[in-house]
A and B are shown apart, each in its own frame.
Chain A
Amino acid sequence: MRSANRFVLGAAIIAIVAVLTTCFVIVDASEQVVVTEFGKPTAVHTQAGIYFKLPVPIQRVTRLDKRLLYTTTGENELLTSDKKNIIVSAYLSWKIADALGYLSALRTRVAAENRLRALVQSELGSALGDVPFSSLVSSDPNISGLKALTNGVEDRCHTIAARDFGIDITDLGITRLNFPSQNLQSVFGRMRAERAQIARGYRSEGKAEAQRIRAEADRKSAELLAAADSKATKLRGDGEAEAAKIYADAYKGHERFYRFLRTLETYDKILGKQTTLILPSDTPLFDLLTSGKASKNPPPLPKPR
C-alpha cells in the first residue's frame, strides 16, 4: 500500500510539473504569440520575453512569425492596354501586422500566400491593362512607367491586405518583365531586321563618305593641275615677251640688214631637197662659169617690200 501511495505521489508530482511548464510561454524575438482560452483569443504577445498563462487544457498558444515574410508570384502572362502579352513576376515582403485578423481571415501560411498571390496578380493585371506597353518601358527615363506602376500596385495591395488579412505589405517589386516565349521568335526577327538595317546604314555611310573623299581629292588635283597649267602658260608668255624684247633691242638700228638676213634664212628654209630650180645661164652666179670674169653686178639683193 505504501508503494502504491509512493507511486501515486510520484505521478502527481510529474503531472504537476508538466502542467506548470505549460503555464509559461517564451516568445522569441522573431515571433509573436496568440493565447487562446478554449479557442477564444485572450492575449497577443508581440514583444519577446517570457509570459505567464493558464495551463494547457484551458489556454493554448499559436505561434506566428514576426519577421518579414517572403512570397513570389511566379510568372504571370498579362495583357497591356494595347493587347501586348507580357510575362511579369513579382515578389512580396510582408508581415503579420494584426495577428488576430490574420488568424481569423487566413489561419495558415499557405492560405495567406495563396490569397496574396491572387491579390497581386489581379492588381498587376488591372494596372497593366490600363497602360500601353510603350509607356511601361522606354529608353527615355521620363516615359518609363514601370516604377510608378509598381508603386501603384504596391499601394493598392497594401491597403487591401491590411484591411482584409491583417497583413502589412512592406515591399513589392517586379522581378521579371519579358515577352512570352512563344513571342520571342518574332521579337528576335524584329531585332535581326533592325540590326541589319543599322549595319546597312553604316556600310552605305562608309561608301558615301569614301566617294566624297575621293571626289574631293579628284577636284583638288584637277584644280592643282589647272592652276599649274595657267601658271605655266603665263611663264611661257613671259619668256616669249622677254625674248621679243631682246630681239627688238638687238635689231633696232639694223632693220635693213635684218630683213636681208631674214630673207636669206627664209630661202634656206623653203628651198629643200624636193625643190627643182631652173636657173637661166645668165644669172650673175654663173658669170664666172661662162665668161671667166667676175660679174660686175653684185648678187641681186632681196628687195624689201
Chain B
Amino acid sequence: MYLATGVYQVQPDESGVAFRFGRVVGADLLPGIHWNAPWPIGRVVVAKTATNFIMPIGYRLQPRPGLDAISDMWLTGDTNVITARLIIQYRIKSLTDFVVNHEAPREMVRRAGERVFVDFLAREGVDGVLTTRRNVIPKAVGNGVQKLLDELKVGIEIQTVSIQELAPPLQGGVRDEFQDVQNAKSDRERLVHEARAAAAQTLAEAQGDADRIHNQALADKRKSTERADGRGRRFLALAAQHDAAPKLTEERLFLETVERVLGRTQNFVVEPNKNGTIKLRVLQ
C-alpha cells in the first residue's frame, strides 16, 4: 500500500525529475508511468516543458504592486533614448538543470535579456537601431541570452526573440521630430522629382524650339534657292527673247514699266522752253 503511492505519471507535454535521498535518480523523464520510492525517501518534480513560455523585456505583462516597475526607455550608443519592448520565448530544455541549478531561472531570462540588450544598444546609433540594424536585434539578443544561460546551466532554450515596440520616445514630442525627419526625407525626394520633371519639360520644349528653328532655316534655304532658280529661269527666258530681238524686247519692257509706273504716280506734263529748260513756280 505504501509502495503503491510511489507511482506517478508524466503527461505527453511534461517532463519529470525523480530524487531519492536527495540524489537525482531520474533526470529529464519522458512521458509515461513511472515509479519512485515514496516520501520521505523519494521526491518527484513534474512540470510542463513542451510549452513555450514568454518573458517580456522592458515591461511586465501584468504589473503588480510590490514589483518594481520596469522602464521601456533605453540608452543608445550615441546617447539618444529610445523606447523598446521585446518578448523572449523560451522553453525548458532540461527540467533537471532548471530545477537543480538555479534559484530563479525565469528571472534569469529577463535579466540576461536586459543585459544583452543594454550592451547591444550601447554600441549602436539610434538611426541604425531604428532602421537597418533593427532586424539584427532578435538574433543578437537571442544568441547573447542563450550564451549566458548556457554558462549558468539553467536548462532553458531560447526559441525566438521578437520586437514588440522599437521607436523614439513618445515623451517630449521626440517621436514627432523623428517623424519629421522622415517627412523631410520624402520632401527631399519630392523636390528632386519635381525638379527632374520640370527639367525634362524644359528640355523637351527647347528641343521642340530647336527643331522648329532648324525646319524654318531649311525652309528659308529652300526658298532662297527656289526663288533664285525661278528668277534665273525667268531671266534666261527674257534673255533668249532679247537675243532674238534686242531692240524690240528692250522697248517693250521699257514701255511696260513706264505704263506701270506712270499709272500710279501723279504726273504733270509741261511745255519746255526753246533751250530745253522748264520753269516751275511753286505756288503756296
Contact = CB atoms under 8 A, between A and B. Distances in A.
Nearest to B224: A239
The secondary-structure label for the interface of chain B is helix
A217 B197 CA distance: 10
Contacts of A185: 172
A214 B198 contact: yes
Interface string A86-100: 000001010000000
Size bracket, chain A contacts:
35 or more
B103 A247 contact: no
A91 B115 contact: yes
B114 A176 contact: yes
Given A199-B177, A221-B203, A276-B266, A70 B261 contact: no
Contacts of B40: 26
A277 B268 CA distance: 6
B257 interface: yes
A69 B203 CA distance: 76
A232 B217 contact: yes
B273 to A, nearest CB: 10
A235 B118 contact: no
Nearest to A285: B258
Interface stretch (B5-13, B77-85, B159-167): B77-85
Contact of A221 (B122, B125, B188, B205): B205
A218 B168 CA distance: 43
B34 interface: no
A27 B19 CA distance: 11
B4 interface: no
B142 to A, nearest CB: 16
A147 B251 CA distance: 119
Contact of A251 (B211, B225, B233, B235): B235
B203 A231 contact: no
A206 interface: yes
B139 to A, nearest CB: 16
In order of increasing CB-CB distance, the 8 nearest A-B pairs are A221-B206, A239-B221, A188-B172, A206-B188, A232-B217, A217-B199, A250-B232, A243-B228
Given A195-B181, A231-B214, A281-B269, 13 more contacts: A70-B104, A177-B74, A196-B177, A202-B184, A209-B188, A220-B206, A221-B206, A235-B214, A268-B261, A275-B265, A279-B267, A281-B272, A299-B251
22 contacts: A29-B100, A48-B24, A68-B102, A68-B154, A93-B108, A137-B123, A140-B123, A170-B151, A170-B152, A176-B114, A184-B81, A189-B172, A202-B181, A206-B192, A210-B194, A211-B195, A231-B217, A243-B228, A272-B264, A278-B268, A298-B250, A299-B255
Interface of B: 19, 21-24, 40, 43, 68, 71, 73-81, 99-104, 107-108, 111-112, 114-115, 118-119, 121-125, 128, 148, 151-152, 154, 168-169, 171-174, 177-178, 180-181, 183-185, 187-192, 194-196, 198-200, 202-203, 205-207, 209-211, 213-214, 216-218, 220-225, 227-229, 231-233, 235-236, 238-239, 242, 246-247, 250-251, 253-255, 257-258, 260-262, 264-272, 276, 278, 280
